[in-house]
Amino acid sequence: MSTLPLFPELPTGDATAITADGGDAPPPRGTGLLQELRKTGALRTLDHALAQSLRRLDPDTPDSVLAAAALASLAVASGHAGFDPAEPQRLVDAAIDWPTPAAWTAALAASHWVAHPGAGDAESAADAPLVYEHGLVYLRRYREYERRLADGLRRIGRAVPHAGAAASDGDGAHVPAHLAPLFAQLFPEAATGDDLQSRAAATALHHSLLLVTGGPGTGKTTTITRMLVLLAAQALAAGAAPPRIALAAPTGRAAERMAESVRNAVQALPALGVQPALCAQLPTTGTTLHRLLGTIPDSPRFRHHADNPLPFDVVVVDEASMIDLPLMAKLVEAVPDGARLVLLGDPDQLPSVEAGDVLAGILRAAEATAPTASFPARHVHLTRGYRQSAALDLAPLAAAVREGDTATALSLLRGGELSGVHLHEGNADPLQSHREHLLAHWTSLADASDPADALARAGRMRILTAVREGPQGARGLNARIEEMLAGTRRGAGPASTTSRYFHGRLLLITENSYRHRLFNGDIGICLRDDSGTLMAWFPGDDAHNPRPFHPAALPAHDSAFAMTVHKAQGSEFDEVWLVLPERFNRVLSRELVYTGLTRARRVLHVVGGPDAIVDALARHAGRWSGLGWKLR
């Protein structure tokens, strides 16, 4: 499997082609669009350097094409797969005299830097660094990721699954007669009505590509556990070997949560009359997608790919909304022919931190096509709430936020009628108003008996923010928290506050390190070992045996006492403080608020004024993507 470089088509003979400031490219002429974008500060150095490289290689390149290249690069950094010239203000909110969509399209059509693949083209044809397809301008690598992902999903969905199953017509939600008694044990409510959990499990018996979605507590992992029991029974009845099953998620914490949920669901099966031998065939551990695919030190490639597929018959992936476009493309290519791929997720959560809104694109394609159409995925959306904490009544608030119903959301927050939900409307600084309560939690981390205990305690409470910078941002809050802890645990004074690392400091990894098997979003804690050496401890394959690292050897990281909602996806905490910015910020969306509040298990504190909540619920966190179109 090959990995496409970012700009593989640019000549490499001249080392000055791309430099931090555009190298020795001719200075911008006049006050063109690229220069306007540069003046606004919207472009990153890399975005501008790409455009300047194209200008240097061909000084006659129209300014609108150069700007489109820079914006396509910026779009990827902003989470989009490509850039839509018809809506540039969605990417750059500045007073710029944008070209008309028709003029921009004409310039792109005439440029040799831009490929224009026809419908169904396997490749983008030309060796151009940009691709213009279905209204989007792509960096070629990201168009290729979308194409490869669409091809891979169709391949999986069209295959007849292993274990003796035959593809069925229609929605495939019927159960073979020899499995009917077991099915009735697993889903006793199926006989009394249209039970969506049982429909999902029955569909998996006949199809290789299944999407199971739903909000917190709708029973996704319970459904999957019972589905896996049916697949094991199906294989036994066919005289086949037990299915080889993998449980995976984008982050270690999400993988462990999924495995724990499956283990708990398995423990309940004997009471339903399920044979212990079938239960024993289910996996008891989960893994990250990176570990599943097999990381290679200092390489973006994985050990498992199309030519060396995964050794599994069923791959179940939780928190699919968190998976970015490149990673999902590589995962799908590694799923072997005839294996089942089951994607679980909440479509109302934020999309991935990196480029792409993969789950949304797949769901749009699945919902827009008939069962016999070109995209053969099956989708079941679970709606019934099974998990309801006696201490926390989130369901009404989550529904109002999900629907963008600002009046109801504010009424519920202000009314005080939801158990466990608290609004701090006039208090933008919980570090002052609730200092002692918060400090008690953070100081307890350093008093833990061992690293595993400390990491478990860390999951009891977290401050979540919408932004990284500013007074309500994760970075500023972490700095203040560390100052507070310096005064309580290390003593006051300059000598005690200069050390970056200290006993009890929570850490958040911010970049993938395949060498260390540490990935963006992993949480660890600094603790002294038995010899008194300060080490950074991160969860290992076994949650009871964390892995130690010297802090100086870690990849890029931040403190994690406060973290952004994006980074908290895939995690849950007993107590969540959701801090919203005082001023309008473009990152605010209903998906952000929904994701943040649904991280809470027992207590939710919302810190923010009504303006922030109104702004957030009025916006969708949509992404530009052509995946849904390619799948259809």
- Residue pair 504/527 in contact (Cβ under 8 Å)? The answer is yes
The per-residue pLDDT for 487 is 65
Residue of 255 and 244 predicted with greater confidence: 244
Query: How high is the pLDDT of residue 389?
Result: 59
Closest CA to 327 of 291, 373, 284: 291
Q: Shortest CA distance to 606 belongs to which of 435, 338, 426?
A: 426
Locate tokens 């007074």: which residue?
471
563-603, pLDDT tens digit by residue? 999 888 878 899 999 999 887 788 889 999 999 998 998 89
- Rounded to an integer, the average pLDDT of 233-248 is 87
pLDDT at 567 (0 to 100): 87
Mean pLDDT of 140-153: 94
Residues 97-124: tens digit of each pLDDT: 899 999 999 999 999 999 998 755 555 4
Q: Reply yes or no on whether the pLDDT at 173 is more than 70.
A: no
- Asked if 153 contacts 377 with a C-beta cutoff of 8 angstroms, the reply is yes
pLDDT digits (tens, 9 = 90+) for 431-465: 888 999 999 999 999 888 889 999 989 989 999 99
| Per-residue pLDDT tens digits for 521-555 | 888 999 988 888 899 999 876 667 889 999 989 99
* Longest CA–CA separation in the chain, Å: 78
CA dist., res. 610 & res. 556, Å (int): 36
Residue in 371, 381, 314 with CA at minimum distance from that of residue 167:
371
Counting beta carbons within 10 angstroms of the beta carbon of residue 145, is it exposed (0 to 12), middle (13 to 18) or buried (19 or more)? buried
Q: How confident is the model at residue 136 (pLDDT cuts 50, 70, 90)?
A: very high
Give the residue from 211, 106, 100 showing the smallest Cα distance to 631: 211
pLDDT value of position 253: 75
2 pLDDT exceeds 80?
no
List the single range of 5-9, 51-55, 137-141 with lowest mean pLDDT. Answer: 5-9
Quick one: which of 31, 32, 58 has its CA closest to 113? 58
Write out pLDDT tens, residues 196-205. Answer: 888 888 888 8
Task: Express each pLDDT in 325-362 by its tens digit.
Answer: 999 999 999 999 989 999 999 888 888 778 878 888 89
Helix (H, G, I), strand (E, B) or coil at 564: strand
Q: State the Cα angle at 163 between 160 and 166, rounded to 5°.
A: 40
Beta-bridge partners for 373: none
**Band of pLDDT at residue 255, cut at 50, 70 and 90:** confident
Closest CA to 348 of 576, 589, 144, 169: 589
pTM for this structure?
0.82
Query: 322 or 149: whose pLDDT is higher?
Result: 149
Which pLDDT tens digit goes with each residue over 265-278?
A: 888 888 888 888 88
The full DSSP string for 483-531 is HHHHHHHS-SSHHHHS-S--TT-EEEE-S-BTTTTB-TT-EEEEEE-TT
DSSP 88-113: GGGT--S---PPPHHHHHHHHHH-TT
Q: What is the predicted pLDDT for the residue at 31?
A: 56
pLDDT for 614 beyond 50 = yes
Report whether pLDDT(9) > 70.
no
Per-residue confidence (pLDDT) for residue 160, from 0 to 100: 77
Token pair of 189, please? 């409510």
Q: What is the 3-state secondary structure (H, E, C) of 312-328?
A: CCEEEECCHHHCCHHHH
Identify the residue with better confidence: 369 or 317: 317
Lowest mean pLDDT of 15-24, 252-261, 315-324, name the range.
Answer: 15-24
Average per-residue pLDDT for the chain: 83
pLDDT at position 248: 93
Q: Where are the extended beta strands (E) located within 506-599?
A: 506-509, 523-528, 534-538, 547-549, 557-559, 562-564, 573-579
Q: Which residues of 34-68 are buried (b: 16+ CB within 10 A; e: fewer)?
A: bbbbbeeebbeeebbbbbbbbbbeeeebbbbbbbb
Identify whether the C-beta of residue 599 lies closer than 8 Å to the C-beta of residue 459. Answer: no
Q: How many CB atoms lie within 10 A of CB 492?
A: 11
Measured CA to CA, the distance from residue 573 to residue 601 in angstroms comes to: 6
pLDDT at 336: 94
Contact between residue 438 and residue 477 where contact means Cβ atoms under 8 Å apart = no
